[in-house]
Amino acid sequence: MKDVGSMIPNQYKITTSNVNVDYGSKRALHDINLQIEEKEVTALIGPSGCGKSTFIRCLNRMNDLIEGCKVEGKIMIDDVDINSSDTDIVELRARIGMVFQKPNPFPKSIYDNVAYGPRIHGIAKSNEDLDNIVMKSLKRAGLWNEVEDRLDASGLSLSGGQQQRLCIARAIAVNPDILLMDEPCSALDPIATAVIEELINELKERYTIVIVTHSMQQAARLSEKTAYFHLGKMIEYDVTSNIFTNPKHEMTEAYISGRIG
Amino acid sequence: MTDNFIETRLRKRYSAEKRFKIYSVSALILALLILATLISSIAISSIPAFTQINIGIDIKMNDDQILQFEEDPENVSWRSLQKKSFYSMFPDVETRKDKKELNKLLSTGAYIEIKKFYLDNPNKLSDNNIIYVPASDDVDLLIKDIIDRDLPQDMRTISDNQISYLDKLISNNRIKKTLSWRLFSNSDSREPELAGLKGGIVGTLLTMFVTLIISFPIGVLAAIYLEEIAPKNKFTDIIEVNINNLAAVPSIVYGLLGLAVFLNYMNMPRSAPLVGGIVLALMTLPVIIIATRAAMASIPPSIREAAYGVGASQMQVIVHHVFPLALPGILTGTIIGIARAAGETAPLLMIGMMAFIVDVPSKITDKATVLPAQIYMWANNPERSFEYLTSAAILILLVILIMMNLLAILLRKKYERRW
C-alpha cells in the first residue's frame, strides 16, 4: 500500500470522499468530502447536532464502538484507507491521538496516565525510556512544571484545565501524527481555555490537528482551515479568514453572524 | 385575593410535605422496631445456651488405673472411674435405682472430660483432683431457673431426690458455671449439653469455598461477555431475560437439579460440601452476573473512550480499566450472593446435607451439614435445652452473615471511586 501511495503523491494528510454515517436508520452525515493538510489546524464548526463530532470520530474509527453506527465512504490517511478490513484499529488509534470534550484522565496516577499508551504499545524499551517519554509528553503538553513533583498523585486531583492537558499529554505519549480534539475547551474556564489554545498553537508544528469547536472565535484564532457543518452536511470549507470575512454560502454567513446556531 | 390564594397553597404544600415526611419516618421506625424485636427475642432466648453448668467430681485414680493409663489411656475404664468417684461423694446413696438417678445428673459424655483432664495433666495421675464435667441438660435448666423446682415432681423432668443431691453439691461448692466454648469446639450431638456447631460451621465454610471458587470466575466472565463483548440482538436479549428469571427461581429447584444431575446421574457423593457448593454456586451465578454487569455498566463511557483513544484493544480496555474499576461493585455483589447462599437450606435438603452428622468434615467430599441445616434440626429436637441452643445457633449464623455484609460495605467504601 505504501508503495502505491508514494507513486501517486498526495499532498493531503487526510482525504475523505463521500463519507456517509448512519445511526440505525437515521443518517447523521451526508457525503462529506474534505481534505486536511499536514501540520495545520483544521476547525470544524456548526450548530449542535450538525455531525461535526460524528465526523471527527470517523477519523480514528471511534464510531465502531457505537452500536448500530455505520460508516460508508472512503477515508484515506497517508493514502491508506482506514475503513478497509485489513486496517489494524489499535495501530490506527495509536497514530491518531484523541482529546475529548470532558477531561477524562484514568483514575490512576499522573505518571500512569501518560505511561499507559507507551506501555500497551511497547514503545518504551526500559524504565528510563518510559520516564523520558512521560517527561517529554508532559513538557509538550505544558504540564510538566505544575506536576513534576507529584507524578504519583491521582490524575483526578488536578484542576479541569490541567486534566485536559494531562489528556493531551497522554494522547501525544504514543507519538501520533494526528491529533483529534472534540471540543477540548468546552468544559473549561476562559483562563484554562487560553492555556490550551496556546498549547494547540505550539503543537501544530508537530501534529496535524483537527478540532471541533463551538466557539467561532476559537476557530478563528486557532485554525488555518475551517469547515462549516449543518444538519449532517458540510456546507462550506475554506481558509479560515475567508470563512469568517467572506463566506460564500448564506448559511455560513447566517451562522457566523449569529442568526442560526 | 391573590396573596391569600398563594398563602393557602403554600400552607397546603407545607403540610403535605410534613405529612409525607411523617409517613416515611414512621415506616422506618416500624421496620426498625420489627427488626429489633426479632433480634432481641433471639438474643434473649439464646442467653442460657452461652453458659454451661459443670459439676465437680473428686477423683483419685488407684494404682491399677494409673498402670493402665501408662500402658494406654484407652485401657482405663473412664465411665466406671467417673461413676465410682461420683458415688463416693454421696455415701448415703445405696440402692441401684438411686445410684442411677444420681448418675443422671451428669452428662452422658462426662467421662470424656475426665479422660481429657488426665491426658492434659499426666503429672496429676496420683493426686486428688476435682474435675469439672458437664451436667446433664435437666440440671443445667434447673440451676438456670428455667425448670421450676416448686412444681410437683411428676411435672418436671428432674426428681426430688435428684434436687436434694444437687443441693448437696451446691452447698459443697461443686457447681460451676462456665462459658459454653463447646458450641464452637464440639460438633453435633443428641445430648444438648454436648452439642456444638463446629461441624456446621466447618461444613458451611467448605461449602461456601466451593460455591465461591465456581460461581465467581464463571459469573464474572459471563458478565464480561454479556456486558462488553456480546452484540445486542434477540439472542442476547433472551439470555438476559433468562438470567434475570433464574435469580428469582425458588432455591429448592436448584436442589432438585443437584439431586437429579450430580447425585443420580454423575454419582457424586451424597451430603458432601462439593455437591452442596456446586448447587449453591448455580443458585448464586445469576446474582453475581447481574451485580457484575451493573458494576461494569456504571463505569463512565469516558474511561472506555479514553482507553480506546490511546489504542487499547478491547481486552486491554476490559482488563486494565473496566474490570478493576468495577471490582468493588463486583465483590459487593459476590459477597451478598454468597451470604445469601450461606443461609440456604432448601437446595441442600435435596442432596442430603440436612442430616445428623457428628464428624467434622475435613475435605469437600466428606459428609457434612451446614449451619442453617443444623439450626433446623436442633429446632426439631424434643429436649428443651435445644430451644436455647437453636437461638444461639441462629445468633451465630446472623453474626457470620452480618460480618460478610460488613466486609462487602468496607470493600466498597475502600475502593469506591468518584468521577
Q: Which of B310, B415, B417 to mutate to test the interface with A (most CBs of A within 10 A)?
A: B310
Residues of chain B with C-beta less than 8 angstroms from the C-beta of A170:
306, 310
Q: Is residue B119 part of a domain?
A: yes
Q: How far is CA B150 from the centre of its chain?
A: 37
Residue whose C-alpha is closest to residue A121's, from A99, A90, A77, A80: A90
Are the beta carbons of A107 and B325 separated by less than 8 Å? Answer: yes
- Note whether B157 and B208 are same-domain residues: no
Chain A: nearest CA to B250, how far in angstroms? 36
The whole-number pLDDT of residue A4 equals 45
Q: How far is CA B100 from the centre of its chain?
A: 36
- Note whether B55 and B114 are same-domain residues: yes
Average pLDDT on B165-172 reads 92
Are the beta carbons of B306 and A105 separated by less than 8 Å? Answer: yes
- Note whether B329 and B345 are same-domain residues: yes
Q: Is residue B192 part of a domain?
A: no
pLDDT, tens only, B312-350: 999 999 999 999 999 999 999 999 999 999 999 999 999
- Note whether B83 and B40 are same-domain residues: no
Are the beta carbons of B309 and A100 separated by less than 8 Å? Answer: yes
Judge contact between A75 and A19, C-beta under 8 A. Answer: yes
Residues of chain A with C-beta less than 8 angstroms from the C-beta of B302:
100, 102, 104
- Note whether B55 and B15 are same-domain residues: no
Domain that holds residue B30: 2-47
Chain A: nearest CA to B330, how far in angstroms? 18
Which CATH number is B372's domain given?
A: 1.10.3720.10
Q: What is the DSSP string of B228-282?
A: IIS--SHHHHHHHHHHHHHTTS-HHHHHHHIIIIIIIIT-PPTT-HHHHHHHHHH
Is the pLDDT at A9 greater than 60, yes or no?
no
**Beta-bridge partner residues of A32:** A19
- The CA distance from A207 to A39, in Å, is 5
Judge contact between A120 and A93, C-beta under 8 A. Answer: no
- Note whether B167 and B108 are same-domain residues: yes
Q: Is residue B379 part of a domain?
A: yes
Domain boundaries along the sequence of chain A = 2-107+177-256
Share of chain A above pLDDT 90, in %: 55
- Note whether B257 and B381 are same-domain residues: yes
Last residue of a domain, one of B125, B148, B180: B180
- The CA distance from B351 to B364, in Å, is 14
Describe the strand order of the beta sheet including A178-182 as a list of residue ranges. A80-81, A69-77, A12-23, A26-37, A233-239, A225-230, A41-45, A208-212, A178-182, A96-99
- The CA distance from A130 to A152, in Å, is 15
- Note whether B126 and B252 are same-domain residues: no
Is the pLDDT at B407 greater than 60, yes or no?
yes
Are the beta carbons of A171 and B312 separated by less than 8 Å? Answer: no
pLDDT, tens only, A41-72: 999 999 888 889 999 999 999 988 888 889 99
CATH number, span A2-107+177-256: 3.40.50.300
Are the beta carbons of B321 and A102 separated by less than 8 Å? Answer: no
Last residue of a domain, one of B153, B180, B207: B180
Q: Is residue B191 part of a domain?
A: no
- Note whether B306 and B404 are same-domain residues: yes
- The CA distance from B402 to B395, in Å, is 10
Residues of chain B with C-beta less than 8 angstroms from the C-beta of A102:
302
- Note whether B156 and B248 are same-domain residues: no
Q: Is residue B188 part of a domain?
A: no
Number of domains in chain B: 3
- Note whether B221 and B127 are same-domain residues: no
What ipTM is given for this predicted complex?
A: 0.89
- Note whether B39 and B137 are same-domain residues: no
Chain B: nearest CA to A194, how far in angstroms? 23
AA letter at B54 = N
